[in-house]
Amino acid sequence: MTADKNTVANRKVICDVLLEHAKMDKQITVLCSDSRGSASMTPFADAYPDQFVEMGIAEQDLVSVAAGMAHCGKKPYAFSPACFLSTRSYEQCKIDVAYSHTNVKLIGISGGISYGALGMSHHSAQDIAAMSAIPGMRVYLPSDRFQTKKLMEHLLQDKEPAYVRVGRNPVGDIYDEKNCPFTMDQAVILQEGSDVTLIACGEMVKKAVDAAEILAKEGISASVIDMYCVKPLDKKAVVEAAQNTKLVVTVEEHAPFGGLGSMVSQVVAAECSKKVINIALPDAPVITGTRKSSSTSIPAILWSKEPPARNLPSALAGHGRTHAPTVADAWWTCWCWMAGMSG
């Protein structure tokens, strides 16, 4: 596995992009719900006080005011913790933004279980499903800082609504300055294999890449797809990968219902007969603790070098996941299923 040397969080990259473009475009406006620090937007507020609005802890007002500003020709970017932006202000996102095709970019910060010890009230495990269910709302989860920059630069050029979810902490680099292929609303094929396809979004893409490296050492050839564009989902990439491998595994920091796994399963079920396994957060309140401990405290069985059981559901019984998906989860799931096939 490659070392995670990056120290720049995706939220910081978003601030840098907006800072750069706001020099020339005075219509760019940032709104925060008492979250400028968490959103890394303090530098923007300091540099452009006339283009910054502090709404306080009032997420519904945040979205409605952003929509009103967009109707007046502004280009608003509304920042709030993903858990609150996607639930407390859901009606405003649906009616004021998406239904009206308003040029508002909703930035959900500290997505997934980023807030760790603050508990389930601050975890956003349902935001992908909720936002994807709104007609006219696009949903993006960039995987690293370089892709985040590309995505934000493209979003600055269009006038349709979008929801962008980023985590709180830096994630390992997948791309670099010279190698960051990006086409709007098209998944990135990071590598091609013949046994299993790993499809991940957001911060889980790095986990999928690392899992593929482990699988390769075990003789399992894996394709890896960076599905940063959860909606619109790149169906073509999903179908082609599924047709060329024996198994599809999705990995997401989200509830097991309505997210990336559900969308991929729908596509695969309709287009080709391949098994799909979804690795996600449990359908239960996720344990609290630091984000690091939550993502690494995994059952010892996941690292076992013994041949796994053929029946995946029974093999997993008694080892319910109470943490974010890990490299080991993806590796062990694939090995279990592939071993069952080969036997």
Query: Averaged in consecutive runs of 10 residues, what is the pLDDT profile of the chain (343 residues)?
Result: 74 95 96 90 95 94 97 96 93 96 95 78 88 97 97 96 94 94 97 96 95 93 97 98 96 95 97 93 75 40 34 35 55 55 42
Residue 322 confidence (pLDDT):
45
What is the C-alpha separation between 188 and 224, in angstroms, rounded?
9
Domain boundary residue among 132, 150, 165? 165
Residue 297 confidence (pLDDT):
33
- Cα 282-284-285 angle, rounded to 5 deg: 115
What is the C-alpha separation between 271 and 253, in angstroms, rounded?
25
Decide if 145 contacts 8 (C-beta within 8 A): yes
Q: Are residues 26 and 158 in the same domain?
A: yes
Residue 114 confidence (pLDDT):
79
Q: What are phi and psi of 276, to 5 degrees?
A: -125, 130
Strand spans (E) along 172-282? 188-191, 196-200, 222-226, 229-231, 247-251, 275-279
Would you say residue 262 lies in a domain? yes
162-196 burial, b for 16+ CB within 10 Å, e for fewer? Answer: bbbbbbbbbbbbbbeeeebebeeeebbbbeebebb
Beta bridge mates, 200? 226, 251
Tell me the residue range of the domain where 56 lies. Answer: 10-165
| Total number of domains constituting the chain | 2
Q: Is 154 exposed, middle or buried (0-12, 13-18, 19+ CB in 10 A)?
A: middle
The count of C-alpha atoms lying within 13 angstroms of the C-alpha of 82, restricted to the half-sphere facing its C-beta, is 31
DSSP H/E element including 166: none
Residue 333 confidence (pLDDT):
61
Q: What are phi and psi of 91, to 5 degrees?
A: -65, -40
Domain boundary residue among 165, 198, 223? 165
Q: Are residues 126 and 241 in the same domain?
A: no
Residue 124 confidence (pLDDT):
83
The per-residue pLDDT for range 179-195, each reduced to its tens digit, is 999 999 999 999 999 99
Residue 118 confidence (pLDDT):
74
Q: Are residues 143 and 218 in the same domain?
A: no
